[in-house]
Amino acid sequence: MIEINGGFGEGGGQILRTSIALTFLLGEKLKIYNIRKKRPESGLAQQHLVSLEAIKNMTDSTLKGVHLGSDEIIFHPGSIIPGKYKIDVGTAGSISLVLQTILPICLFSSQPTELILRGGTDVKWSPPIDYLKNVFLRILGKMGGRVDIKIERRGYFPKGGGTIRTIVYPIEKLSSLNLLERGNLQKVRGIVHSSNLPSHITERIVNSVDENLNYPSEIKMEQRNEDSTGVGINLWAVFKNSYIGAGSLGEINKSAEKVGKEAALRLASELKNNTAIDAYTSDQIILYLALAKGISKVRVANLTSHLITNIHVVEKILGVKFRITDKYVLNITGIGFNNDLL
């Protein structure tokens, strides 16, 4: 049995998500303790319960200790059962974070897996669904991963109610990733989305981006009238070799101009760095680099606590070793994990 200390490093939910996905693929039993030890409210939160319940339903795995606030679980992995699944995260729980947990498992299934996820598409402390679709999954696509996402409804805090449809296509083996230079900037694209708000708000956000970002941009405006009320913007820079994203969410007493300015300045900051991928993708791609066949080399912006923590967990479970060389270049020889179900 593999034992993981959930309080290591940044001590958040990413340790749980990475550990569950990797031990499932290896077929190894897992004990994880001190779950989310360094969060204000430690232990399993609602979205973690949903992720674990989804894995239980999609596979013949067994779980012990799964309840709200639990700081220790034991996981006995089974085999994935391909099909179509509906997953309700509840209110505005993050759809993206639930998808993070089950995505690696679905990639190594025998058939495509269709997922209908309901919850928060654009909420604090998690990547917006547009970022996942237009940045992270495009970089994963360079390794051979194929995931289609259709956003049907937006879900904002606190009401949620967002819905996405996802199809994850199985892959025999992930290819290594050589991403040291992002290449020339080709364009900046984005989307401003709102629900139950006047049209001038989205227009003011776009104008604010134009005033604060020294790059031409193509921004789509999306206005809906759905269950929850909210507004946000997601920007992504398209380079010859890579994609980088940034965004901002509206809040009570936060002007439309500030929402646009935040997103613009965050993207501008990323563009000034000579990094191939942004901080969020750096954290998330670690698992896939380690599973891939061959040597991967990726330049990241900096070594965040999230990144260092995820490297530690991946190294412990898979027995690989990341080397960090010249200006934050991650070097890893992956295990070449093979999908025996195909």
Q: Per the residue annotation, which of 48, 193, 200, 306 is the catalytic one?
A: 306
C-alpha dihedral (51, 36, 46, 17), degrees to nearest 10: -10
DSSP letter, residue 59: B
Both tokens of residue 185? 């900037």
Amino acid in the structure at residue 49: L
Mark whether 200 is an active-site residue. Answer: no
**Cα–Cα distance, 48 to 138 (Å, whole number):** 25
**Cα–Cα distance, 337 to 293 (Å, whole number):** 7
The CA-based angle 159-163-165, given to 5 degrees, is 165
Give the strand order in the sheet containing 162-169: 84-88, 113-119, 162-169, 146-153
Residues in the chain, overall count = 342
Beta strand extents in the chain (DSSP E only): 2-5, 30-33, 62-64, 72-76, 84-88, 113-119, 146-153, 162-169, 178-179, 185-195, 217-224, 230-239, 243-249, 295-299, 323-325, 329-333
- Asked if 103 and 159 touch (Cβ cutoff 8 Å), the reply is no
Q: Which of 339, 300, 341, 293 is nearest to 323 (CA)?
A: 300
Strand partners, 249: 232
Phi-psi region of 60 (alpha: psi -120 to 50; beta: other; left: phi over 0): alpha
**Cα–Cα distance, 181 to 151 (Å, whole number):** 31
**Residues annotated as catalytic (active site), given as ranges:** 306
